[in-house]
Structure formats: C-alpha cells, structure tokens
Chain A
C-alpha cells in the first residue's frame, strides 16, 4: 500500500456523494451505508497502484457494488432481492370508486411519491435493472459510466434502466392503488 494517500483522496473524495448514493441502495440488511463507503475507499486505496486513470466514479461504484456483494455473501444474504415473477405489461388497477380499469400508471406514481415506498418497490426489481436505476437515476451516472461500472454495453444499460423504470412505476402504481390512491 505505497500509493500517496493525498493523491488518492484528491482524486476520489470529490465522488464520495455519488458513491454514498450507490452504497445506500446497495447496502443489504445489516449493512451500514457509511461503513460500506469507508470500506469502498479502503479497497480502492489498496488497489490505487493499479488504477490507470480511468473514470474514477465508475471505478469506485464498481468497487462499492463488489464490496456490498461480498459482505452480503459473508452474511449469507443477498443485498439485492431478485423476483422472478413478471408484472403484466399493462397493470389492471382497482380504482377507489370500485370500477376496474386501466389507469394511467404515470399519473398514479407521480401523485403519491414516497421515498420509503419507492425504496421498497426498487428492492423488488431484478438486480440488473435495479443496479442500473441506482447508478443512473439515483446516483446520477451517465449510461456510459454505468456501462463501464458494470462491464456491459451502453445499449444494455439503457434497455435495463428503461425496463426497470417501467416496472418500478407499475409497482408504485399498484402500491398507490392498494393505499386508496387512484
């Protein structure tokens, strides 16, 4: 561990806010997001000697996701819940007035945004979609950076984030209707 820690901190600390966004969503049960950020930076510092100056945000996010996964494996728990069942393409909504119909999912979602509910529904997405949404919509990574982080083509990231957003919107609409909103 011979790298100059000041050079390392100068290169990486400006990205701590986005790493924290990733850590908050990647932290599984029993994991603390702040501990995860610290462990990410310690691992990154340990590997700073082999860092070739690529996108630091993408590099840190990839380390953060790996740390979250390996810690979760140690705890024998998955930080990302993967659900196999698919949602219908069009969500039939039970309206508050008792009539059945196809409501506008987007309107239902926007009308009742609640961070806790969003977090719960995000946790129900398949991992690939969830990770892409966390990187792009929560942490503010570009599709290119997310692709670099995950080691997959940019088009794949865009398709995953699109499917994930739609699924998230439908899950939230379903939850909103269940709570009496329509």
Chain B
C-alpha cells in the first residue's frame, strides 16, 4: 500500500466515522488547510448524493410475482392461496395486507393448511389439477384466477392486450414463461416452455395438428401446441372456442 493508498483509506475511514477521536481531530484540522483533501471530501459527498438519485421503489406487484414463482418452485397449493386473495394487480396496491397474510401464514401454518385443503377440495377441477403433470398443473393453477368472460360486448377483432408482466416459474423440471392476455371479453394465459408440456391422462389429441392436445379442467380449457417451443393456452371458455382464441394470441 503506497502513501496515496493509505491517505485514501484514512480519508475514507474518517468520512465513515471510523477513526478514533484524536485522529479524527487531526483530519479536521488538516482539512482546514489542505485544499486537495477538502476537494476530495466535497467530491465524495457529491458522488454519494448523485448515486442516491438512482433509488427507485420496486414496482407494485413484484413481490407477488416473486412469491408466486417461489410457491410454484415449492410445489405449494398455490391455487388455493391465489383463489383466496384478489388478483395481483389489486394486491400491488395493498402490500400491507399481503404482509399480514404472510405473517398469519407463518403463525398459523396448521390452520392455513386446513383452510387450503378445504379450498382445494371446493375449487372446480382442483382434484384434477393435483393429478396432472406438474408443468400443466402449474399453468392451470396460474390461470384459475382469471375471471369468467364478462357479458360486456367488445369488438370481435380487438387486438390482444397483455395484462401485467410475464412470470417465469419452474415446474416439473420445466422452465415456463406465463403471460396473461386480454382478448375481447375474456383473458387467457399463454405458457411457453422449451420442453413439451406432457399430455395429461384425460387429454385428447387434436387431429391434424401433430402433437397438439386439448383438455378440460373445471371451468378451464387447455390447448397445447408443440413446435419449436411448446405453448399451452388456458382460458375459462368452452373447449370449442379455445383453438380459435389461441389462433388470435401472440404465441412464441
């Protein structure tokens, strides 16, 4: 360590309040006389003040997105938890409520487990989700919060509008990117993975579409297309409408 290095470390220590009182007093006196060191102090303060302008609060909803991804990685009964709470867009504005929920979850794990089990039992198609391949079940759980199509009429040729941000999850060893789209009077989830989504036991192959398959899960219809990537579309619409809906969505 040369003299300049040592002086830099001492000054940095002085600015951090690390020096003992006697040494700090010597620096105080030195700064009154030494223009170069005084400039260094002012530059240090200016640099710190400048860097602080880069602080920006995390976007609303990021905590929910992260929590959901972790839930999926853990294979938790996310569907029950998501059904019991409002959509992420609302939650982003109600972070306090989320914290309370997490605390309650931590404090009353047993009670929450019972509630979750009941909710799972009451959810339409929930028992089927549990018996599905993990990757397909993850998409279904994510899509189960989509509200039923509204009665309101929208132009038939409405362009798809992405809702929220993509969520990436790992399920069944597959990396899956989930996007929610609003199209006309309904919303749909498009899940994309580089690994084909396994065909569930009760699914049916779609004739003329190679490895495509479709399945029904409670009020959800699932439609899977396999090409360079595998795309699984899930929406609360009749199975007969889903292929047409998928054709209008921006798949990978």
Instruction: Name A's B-contacting residues (CB within 8 A).
Output: 1, 3, 5-10, 13, 16-17, 20-21, 24-25, 34-35, 37-39, 41-42, 45-46, 89-90, 104-106, 109-110, 113-115, 118-119, 121-122, 133-134, 137-140, 143, 155, 158-159, 161-170, 172
Instruction: Provide the main secondary structure of the chain B interface.
Output: helix
Starting from the known contacts A24-B54, A110-B50, A155-B12, 8 additional A-B residue pairs (CB-CB under 8 Å) come to A10-B105, A37-B62, A41-B69, A45-B70, A89-B36, A109-B49, A158-B15, A167-B47
Q: Is B11's CB within 8 Å of the partner chain A? A: yes
Interface contact A168-B51, CB-CB below 8 Å: yes
For chains A and B in complex, what number of residue pairs have CB atoms within 8 angstroms?
161
Interface contact A118-B54, CB-CB below 8 Å: yes
Interface contact A106-B8, CB-CB below 8 Å: no
Q: What are 20 inter-chain pairs, A to B, with CB distance below 8 A?
A: A1-B74, A6-B105, A17-B58, A20-B59, A25-B54, A35-B168, A37-B58, A134-B51, A137-B51, A140-B55, A143-B16, A158-B9, A158-B18, A161-B12, A164-B47, A165-B48, A166-B44, A166-B47, A168-B50, A169-B43
Interface contact B170-A42, CB-CB below 8 Å: yes
Q: How far is the CB of B81 from chain A (nearest CB, A)?
A: 10
Interface contact A20-B62, CB-CB below 8 Å: yes
Interface contact A9-B102, CB-CB below 8 Å: yes
Q: Is B56's CB within 8 Å of the partner chain A? A: yes
Closest to B112 in A: A6
**Contacts A24-B56, A25-B54, A105-B39 given; does A10 touch B103 at CB 8 Å:** yes
Taking a contact as CB atoms closer than 8 A, the residue among A24, A115, A166 that contacts B53 in the complex is A115
Q: How far is the CB of B64 from chain A (nearest CB, A)?
A: 10
